[in-house]
Chain A
């Protein structure tokens, strides 16, 4: 049971960071950084552990999810002190607010780790809902900002409604499992191993699929209810934007990735719905990127686009494509997006603070070579213009698609996203209309180097695609791993 020890190790370190943050903000700085490193240590130690399913689970998908959450935690924790101190200096937050910030930040990441290792679908729902509630407060960290308060309210109302839908869906799914005579229908492993036994309750399953997909798509910022995302992600402090875009909107898709094989037992409709939602989200994200003039909103719309791509990849795993390849693409894309987007939000936060504006035409990337060029590289990675995880995953997904028309629709929508982000990125490099003389970024070199470290992490993720061992691990669908354990 070594794997459980490492999971508890991560959870206890997160909980300790929450407690320590109550005492002072300096303790919060240090505790969150230490805890994020311990999360990564735990994730690495879990790499070689065997698959297990109980109330908690461990398989290659949960391991990858845990690593993703840990890396985003690292980026948020190490960049937070710099942003929080700036906010304190500007009077946007007081010492108590800073302590609350660290408590909530550490608590959210701890809940997310528990979510990825939980086998109980209702506990996963509770954790998703709690993480939403905590991050609502994080979005309005700036106590003076009216725009942040408005964005928090939209985020609160839309996500809570979406989560209510998904809870209804989960209850229906449980009911279908109980109807089919399953032993523990609240456990994912029990539902997933039932296979065709669930087909008898196909009507209930279909209804459950509709509610679950509708609910989780709101939480993931997918079409049609994505409107909260650009507001909340752009108004939050940059480390919180990294948390929201990097892993919070990924987690509903993580849960959905586990549930899709169960929901698809009654037919391929859930996958078709996901494919449609995915393509429309990519197009909405691309459209939003074209019209926005704010660098953080640009990144937020890019998140809508990438969540659309992930939803589309998910639809390929159990219906419209070749499962193993599509699952590899999903995992690699999720990790690539999480790292690049965290880095993009942090670097755009540094740059916009230095230039005194978030308007793309007013931003001068040459104000700091490390951070400025880091931002440009991040955008190129997110576009899929550099041979790194996002480009690789998009090519792998295209390869897994069955059907020429579907392939053409996918390529056209991805190209639309590429062109929109590319157009805006080009504006970052030319036609400057500064609002004031840019002030040099005063952050310590180590904090600025975080951008480089995060970008460097994309290289080992790219290697995963070509390394037979890792690629095999990441292409194993959760259901295949579950069945191989003889559950």
Chain B
């Protein structure tokens, strides 16, 4: 059991590391591939839980591979295929991204310390940190693809929390959430590509400028 907990802790830390790398990466296609790696790590956490606990976690692992490690990155790669993959200068970039991520992990650790049992400390810290890193990414990144990836962090965070805090949940819920994750990204990419067709950019600043123009009229 101790070995499995250690494996889960290492995998969880890998997830936080990939999340920070996604935040820092300005090329959306590379960020999408990193997200695929993060989802594979999530699936391995489920495998570890399935080996020592309920077998249905193995089904969760398989479903996460298909939906999050394959389909979601595919949609994002398709979006970047016809658009400029590189993000314009973000609101907060470079070393400041790592500082923001570090703060997110610290806050995540403090919350997990107060709420989670000791053996779940590392994965719960990861779950909360992913949520906060996603939030920071949505607020501070200007590229629509990167903002979709921020939402994807929420999805992985909730999925991990669900596995840790809500075991024995009915299968229908897991299926529903998996479907939702795929559709959320699919429709997000659809809207983003429509915006690219109309504005010739995926930079959210141009959207803000348009809204100001419309409001001024």
A133 in contact (CB, < 8 A):
yes
- CB pair A137–B192 under 8 Å, yes or no, is no
The contact string, 1 if C-beta is below 8 Å from chain B, for chain A 355-369, is: 000000000000000
Residues of B within 8 A of A134 (CB): 187
**Total A-B pairs, Cβ < 8 A:** 107
From 127 to 152 in chain A, residues with beta carbon under 8 angstroms from any chain B beta carbon are 129-130, 133-134, 136-137, 140, 143-144, 146-147, 149-150, 152
The contact string, 1 if C-beta is below 8 Å from chain A, for chain B 73-106, is: 0000000000000000000000000000000000
- CB pair B173–A171 under 8 Å, yes or no, is no
- CB pair B165–A171 under 8 Å, yes or no, is yes
Q: Contact partner of B192 among A130, A153, A186, CB < 8 A?
A: A153
A156 in contact (CB, < 8 A):
yes
Residues of A within 8 A of B207 (CB): 150, 153-154
B135 in contact (CB, < 8 A):
yes
Residues of A within 8 A of B188 (CB): 156, 160
By beta carbon, the residue of chain B nearest A231 is: B211
- CB pair B176–A126 under 8 Å, yes or no, is yes
A231–B180 CA distance with the chains assembled, in angstroms: 24
Residues of B within 8 A of A160 (CB): 151, 154, 184, 188
The contact string, 1 if C-beta is below 8 Å from chain A, for chain B 141-158, is: 000100100010011011
By beta carbon, the residue of chain B nearest A137 is: B187
Q: What is the minimal beta-carbon distance from B3 to any residue of chain A, in angstroms? A: 26
- CB pair B191–A149 under 8 Å, yes or no, is yes
The contact string, 1 if C-beta is below 8 Å from chain A, for chain B 33-61, is: 00000000000000000000000000000
Number of chain A residues close to chain B: CB under 8 A: 37
B1 in contact (CB, < 8 A):
no
Other than the given A137-B191, A140-B194, A175-B165, 9 more pairs (CB < 8 A) read: A123-B172, A143-B194, A153-B207, A156-B188, A160-B151, A164-B157, A171-B161, A178-B167, A178-B168
State the A residues within 8 Å of B (CB). 120, 122-123, 126, 129-130, 133-134, 136-137, 140, 143-144, 146-147, 149-150, 152-154, 156-157, 160-161, 164, 167-168, 171-172, 174-175, 178, 186, 203-204, 207, 231
State the B residues within 8 Å of A (CB). 115, 131, 134-135, 138, 144, 147, 151, 154-155, 157-158, 161-162, 165-170, 172-173, 176-177, 179-180, 183-184, 187-188, 190-192, 194-195, 198-199, 204, 207, 210-211, 214
